[in-house]
Structure 1
Amino acid sequence: MRLRRAGGSALLIECHDGEHVEAWRAELWRRRAAGELEVTDIVPGARTVLLDGVAPETAALVESWPEPAPAATADGPLVEIPVTFGGEDLPDVATRWQVPVEEAVDRLLATPLTVAFCGFAPGFAYLRGLPEECAVPRLDAPRPRVPAGSVGLAGAYAGIYPTASPGGWRLVGKTSQNLFDVRREPPALLVPGTRVRLVRA
C-alpha cells in the first residue's frame, strides 16, 4: 500500500489490484462505522481508494494500521439481477470465449460478481469476478446510444447501464431492474461491496 495526499483534504491509497482495493474498502468502511475514522467519503477505484474530507493527522493513523487481509469470500448484500440474454454482442463474446452462445450465458449466470467501484454515470457499477480468460476488449468505436438496462462486458468487468448513454461495452443482455433512483437511499442499487448474481428474467 502506498499513501499519497490528494489536494488539501484527501488521501489516496494506491493498491496492488482489485482484491486489495476491496480489502481496504471493507476495512475503511468498518473503521468508519466503529468511529475509528472520520472521513466525508470513501471512494474505491480500479486500483485506488480515495478518502475525502480527512483531518491532517489521518494519514499517520491510516499508515499505522496493518494491511487488511483479502476476504476469502465477499460478504456484502446479495442482489439478483434478472437478465434477458440476447444482446447484439453475445455471439461475438461466445466466439471469443470459444464456446456456444448458450454456454457463454451459463458461464455468466454461474459467475459470482461483486461491485468493485462505481463511475462513468450515476448508478453504473463495475462488477468484478470474471476470470482473466473471459476478459473482452471494448468496441473499437463506442455506440452513440446504449439503452438503459443493457448488460455489457469490457475488459475483466461486467456492467449494467442505468440510463441510456453512449458506450463501448459488448452487450450480452438487458434488464428491467431500476438501478438508480434519486428518491431511494442510497440512490444506487449497486454500491461497492454488493454481491451480484445474474439470473434469467
Structure 2
Amino acid sequence: MNAYPRIENAGVGAWLVRLFDRIDENNLASVMALCRKCEEAFGSALVDLVPSYTTLLVQYDPRLLRPEQARLKLQELLAQLSPAEVSGAESGGGPLRELPVWYEPTVGPDLLPLAEKNALSVEALIELHAGTVYQVFALGFAPGFAFMGSVDPRLEAPRLATPRPKVYAGSVAIAGLQTAAYPSPSPGGWNLLGRTPVVLFDHLREQMSYLQVGDRVQMVPVNKQEFLRLGGDPTPQEDS
C-alpha cells in the first residue's frame, strides 16, 4: 500500500500532491490549507494551483525554481500541516454563495422522474436539494463547472445512460451524491432539476468562475417571475 501524502511528477513545472486515497468531505480542509501554504511559500514562482477531491496540482515557473527545489518546498509544507488544519478546525469554511434556482420540469426534465423514482413528492425533493449547504470540491469538465456535495442520500441518482447532446447553461443537476450547475451549453448526462440565472463563468470577470473550490453553496428556490427578473433563460430543455 502506498503511503499518503505523496508527491508525483506531473510534467515540466508541475508536481501533483496526492493527499488521500479516497474521496471524503473532510479532505477539503487539508487540500485548502496546503493551497494557502503554497501561495505563501512559492510567491512569484507559483503559476497555478488546481485543488481536487484528493489531490493538489502545483504548477510553478521552472525558470525560477528547479524541480527538486519545488519538491523540497512541498515536503516542508506537508510537514507543517497542523492537526487542526488537517481536521478542518481552523478552516471556517469558504464564503457562502447563493444560487437562485427555478425548479421546473420544462428546464429540469428529470425533476418529476427523479421524485417518482425516489418515492418523494416534487416539493420534498426541492426541499431536500435546497436544504443542504454544499461545498465546492473541484472545478473541472468545463470552465466554471463546480462539483459540489454531498446531496442528501435520498436524492442519489446515477448519470443518465445516454447523455443529452445539449444541456443549457445554468442547468442545475445531480449525479450520484454530487450536484452541479452547467456554466455553458454542453453535452451532459446529469439529472436536470431546474436552472439558475447566475452567470457561472465569464472570461471578462476578474474571477472568471463564480464558484471556487472551498466555497459553500446554498440553492435558493425561486419562481419563474423572479428567475426571469434575474436574467434567466426559460428555453425548454430538449432531449434530442
Structure 1 length normalisation: TM-score? 0.89
Deviation at 1:132? 4.1
Q: 1:135 aligns with which of 146, 156, 160?
A: 156
Distance in 1 of aligned mates of 2:153 and 2:92: 18
Q: Which amino acid aligns with 2:163?
A: P
Deviation at 1:37? 4.3
Question: For residue 96 of structure 1, what is the aligned residue in structure 2?
Answer: 117
Question: For residue 28 of structure 1, what is the aligned residue in structure 2?
Answer: 34
Q: Secondary structure at the residue paired with 1:40?
A: strand
Counterpart check, 1:42 vs 2:49: yes
Counterpart check, 1:176 vs 2:205: no
Question: For residue 84 of structure 1, what is the aligned residue in structure 2?
Answer: 102
Residues 200, 209 of structure 2: 8 Å contact kept: yes
Deviation at 1:155? 1.4
Q: Secondary structure at the residue paired with 2:174?
A: strand
Q: Secondary structure at the residue paired with 2:86?
A: coil
Aligned length: 200
Question: For residue 12 of structure 1, what is the aligned residue in structure 2?
Answer: 16
- Unmatched 5+ residue regions in structure 2? 61-66, 223-240
Q: Secondary structure at the residue paired with 1:11?
A: strand
RMSD of aligned residue pairs (Cα, Å): 2.1
Deviation at 1:74? 5.5
Q: Secondary structure at the residue paired with 2:193?
A: strand
Residues 103, 193 of structure 2: 8 Å contact kept: yes
Q: Secondary structure at the residue paired with 1:181?
A: coil
Larger radius of gyration: 2
Question: For residue 6 of structure 2, what is the aligned residue in structure 1?
Answer: 3
Question: For residue 63 of structure 2, what is the aligned residue in structure 1?
Answer: none
Deviation at 1:93? 1.9
Residues 139, 213 of structure 2: 8 Å contact kept: yes
Deviation at 1:130? 1.3
Distance in 1 of aligned mates of 2:92 and 2:118: 26
Q: 1:70 aligns with which of 87, 93, 97?
A: 87
Q: Secondary structure at the residue paired with 1:31?
A: helix
Judging by fraction of residues, say which structure has more helix: 2
Distance in 1 of aligned mates of 2:181 and 2:175: 11
Residues 30, 88 of structure 2: 8 Å contact kept: no
- Unmatched 5+ residue regions in structure 1? none
Distance in 1 of aligned mates of 2:5 and 2:211: 28
